[in-house]
Amino acid sequence: MTLFMPGDILFYTGHGTIYDAAIEAVTHSQLVHVAIAISAVQKIEALSGGVMLTPIDNVAAARYWSYVQHVPNYDRLQFSTALNWLQGMRGTLYGWDDAASALIESWGFNLNISDNHFDCSALATEFLMKCGMVFGLYGVTNPHTVTPELLARYLGVT
């Protein structure tokens, strides 16, 4: 059993839904969802009903990236501010436009139609950016176009 720490990024595979199948087809990956641990037992994630606090099921995460293991000298104040921002996102609407932006980008077009709501991977990417991580090295300037697979690749999970 893995004990997750605040800031850990949890990656999930699909469960056979049409939405999961669409993500798998566009991203060419089995990773279809991302959540952020805020404690050993709770995570925040963007679901179709909005950004929610949910319990962690330790067997469900297919892969994970440990914040404290990969960023040992992190700025505690910046990390705390990012966690507070993340918790403040609870109750906001799901970013359906993020999914559309990622799809459009997968076709080779650079068009962002985001309205500052977040899908799961945009929420995790924005959280990490607020922690001080720089994704510009990977060409990411807009977290709203990041997919679960791309985030996993950027973090060295896949």
* Single-letter amino acid, residue 122: A
Handedness of CA 121, 11, 80, 49 (dihedral sign): positive
CA distance readout (Å), 21 to 9, 16, 37, 64: 22, 6, 25, 21
Q: Indicate the burial class of 115 (C-beta count within 10 angstroms; 0-12, 13-18, 19 or more).
A: exposed
Does any domain span residue 91?
A: yes
Number of residues in the chain: 158
For every residue of 44-82, which 3-state class applies, written as one string?
EEEECCEEEEEECCCCCCCEEECHHHHCCCCCHHHHHHH
Distance from C-alpha of 155 to C-alpha of 8, rounded to nearest angstrom? 11
Q: What is the pLDDT along the chain (158 residues), one digit of tens a residue?
A: 678 999 999 999 988 888 888 878 888 889 999 999 999 999 999 998 899 999 998 778 999 999 989 988 889 999 999 999 999 999 998 877 666 666 666 666 665 555 678 889 999 999 999 999 877 656 677 787 788 998 999 999 98
- What residue numbers bound the domain in which 145 lies? 9-154
Q: pLDDT digit string (tens) for 116-127?
A: 788 899 999 999
User: H-type helices in the chain, by residue range?
Assistant: 18-27, 67-70, 76-88, 96-106, 120-131, 148-154
Q: pLDDT digit string (tens) for 33-50?
A: 999 999 999 999 999 889
Q: What's the total number of domains in the chain?
A: 1
We report the CATH number of the domain holding residue 114 as 3.90.1720.10
**Rg, Å, the chain Cα set:** 14
C-alpha angle 38-42-48 in degrees, rounded to nearest 5: 100
Does any domain span residue 1?
A: no
Does any domain span residue 134?
A: yes
Does any domain span residue 2?
A: no
